[in-house]
Amino acid sequence: MACQFIEVDKLRDTLRESLGKDDKRQEDISRPDVLTRIESVIQTIVISVSEGEAPVLRVMNRSSWDNVRFHESVGLVQKTDVPVRTLRCDCPSSATRFALTLKLLSVIYKLVQSDSYATKRDIYYNDPQLFGSQTTLDSILDDISCMLKVPRRSLHVCATSKGFISGDLCYLEEDGTKVDCSSSSTAVPVSSNVNGIRNIVSSAKFILIVEKDATFQRLLDDAFCTRLSPCIIITGKGVPDVNSRLMVRKLWDTLNIPVFALVDADPYGIEIMCIYKYGSRSLAFEAHSLTVPSVLWLGLLPSDIQRYRVPEETLIPFSQADESKINSLRTRDYISCQPAWEREIETMQRLKQKAEIQCLASIAPHFLTRVYLPNKLRYGGWI
């Protein structure tokens, strides 16, 4: 069995040799520092009011690709000269956002001051009519984190996790609860306080990020973690939430083992993999804590469609949205610096077809877990 990990072990050794060259993880901000930064914002508002001026808040524009740059060893990072949006209390278009930002700053201040935590859902359902929607609250929280230059976990506001994890892994939650992820048939929800996890114990050879929950469940049902033991599998159930990304980063920082991605051979699967690897535009200010640039694409590769003679009837024709997405991907710096990825994307665009991971079941019911993935890992079939 040991021979199946020869290439994975070689990769692990190579990755460990390259550690520390540009790895600059964002450090947590102390509670007094967070309070001081909030007080500074409020002081500016008080001064404006005392001088008879309408107070304003300045928040970074996090929605434009022009405001991020690509750093090969970190991912998408925020530029230093990002334009700001001005929220004015005397402007009808921004007065509500201004008031909600102050309200959330007040909530955060009390949480940090009392060293207590709340989930975003707790805050929203405490006054749902005030915020209007959970999405609005989430966006304002990100604006505050960016404005204060404080990672979200230091604001004492947690998000409910949607991801799951399984495999050769044990750790302690911040409250001392022991979590064992080694059950072969069930998975453990990703912690809502990843930063508080400690005493991580694992002998895993690799981490496998699985794009979709259905595929993740299939791996569990086929006892993948037992068949290819020791390993860790994790899913963010589609576009990953922050906690799933934090968990992958924490495991990489602690274990320094290869991280592979298993995604659909379509433009959206590739983009989800890039979020784990290089980060997202809207959270570029937290890139150092959320990205794992060493992530490798294990499958499903577009070239695998022909290599494994996937039945034509299981393939899906490109839509106009797919074409637009793939054209967008090809303009991004983090794709152009990966020639092997570029070739795979060109193959997909030439075929004008996409394939879901589940299509491998049309070859044989257990082809994914008993042939495809074991061979990929044994022979180094990643890019």
Q: At the top level of CATH, which class does the domain 31-158 belong to? A: mainly alpha
What's the CA gap between 7 and 370, in Å, rounded?
A: 18
Give pLDDT, residue 185.
Answer: 73
Q: Per-residue pLDDT for 213 more than 90?
A: yes
Q: Per-residue pLDDT for 312 more than 80?
A: yes
Q: Per-residue pLDDT for 91 more than 60?
A: yes
pLDDT in tens, 222-247: 999 999 989 999 999 999 999 999 99
Across the range 49-59, mean pLDDT stands at 92
Give pLDDT, residue 67.
Answer: 86
pLDDT in tens, 97-143: 999 999 999 999 999 999 999 999 999 999 999 999 999 999 999 99
What's the CA gap between 276 and 244, in Å, rounded?
A: 9
Q: Is 125 a catalytic residue?
A: yes
Between these two residues, 382 and 26, which has the higher pLDDT value?
382
pTM (two decimals): 0.90
H-only helix segments in the chain:
6-17, 31-50, 95-113, 120-126, 128-131, 134-148, 213-221, 224-227, 242-255, 267-278, 287-290, 302-307, 320-330, 333-336, 339-351, 367, 373-379
In whole angstroms, how large is the CA radius of gyration of the chain?
Answer: 22
What's the CA gap between 205 and 6, in Å, rounded?
A: 10
- CATH (one of 3.40.50.2000, 3.40.50.720, 2.60.40.10, 3.40.1360.10) for 161-379: 3.40.1360.10
Give pLDDT, residue 240.
Answer: 96
pLDDT in tens, 153-170: 889 998 889 999 999 999
Q: Which candidate in 125, 171, 372, 379 is catalytic?
A: 125
- What 3-state class would DSSP assign to 215? helix
Give pLDDT, residue 234.
Answer: 98
Q: How many CA atoms lie within 13 A of 272 on its CB side?
A: 24
Between these two residues, 175 and 207, which has the higher pLDDT value?
207
CB neighbour list of residue 321: distance below 8 Å, 6 or more residues apart: none
Give pLDDT, residue 236.
Answer: 97
Question: In the structure, what pLDDT confidence band is assigned to residue 81 with cuts at 50, 70 and 90?
Answer: confident
CB neighbour list of residue 43: distance below 8 Å, 6 or more residues apart: none
CB neighbour list of residue 4: distance below 8 Å, 6 or more residues apart: 228, 374, 377, 378
Give pLDDT, residue 63.
Answer: 80
Give pLDDT, residue 65.
Answer: 85
What's the CA gap between 92 and 95, in Å, rounded?
A: 5
Q: Per-residue pLDDT for 183 more than 80?
A: no
Give pLDDT, residue 177.
Answer: 94
Distances (CA, A) of 208 to 165, 212, 234, 311: 10, 12, 6, 26
Q: Per-residue pLDDT for 1 more than 70?
A: no
Mean pLDDT, the chain, rounded, equals 92
Task: Give yes or no for a contact between 154 and 34, defined as CB atoms under 8 angstroms apart.
Answer: yes
Give pLDDT, residue 80.
Answer: 81
Query: What is 143-173 written as a DSSP string?
Result: HHHHHHT--GGGGTEE-----EEEES-EEE-
Domain boundaries, the chain: 31-158, 161-379
pLDDT in tens, 249-284: 999 999 999 999 999 999 999 999 999 999 999 899
pLDDT in tens, 3-23: 788 999 999 999 988 876 555
Give pLDDT, residue 27.
Answer: 59
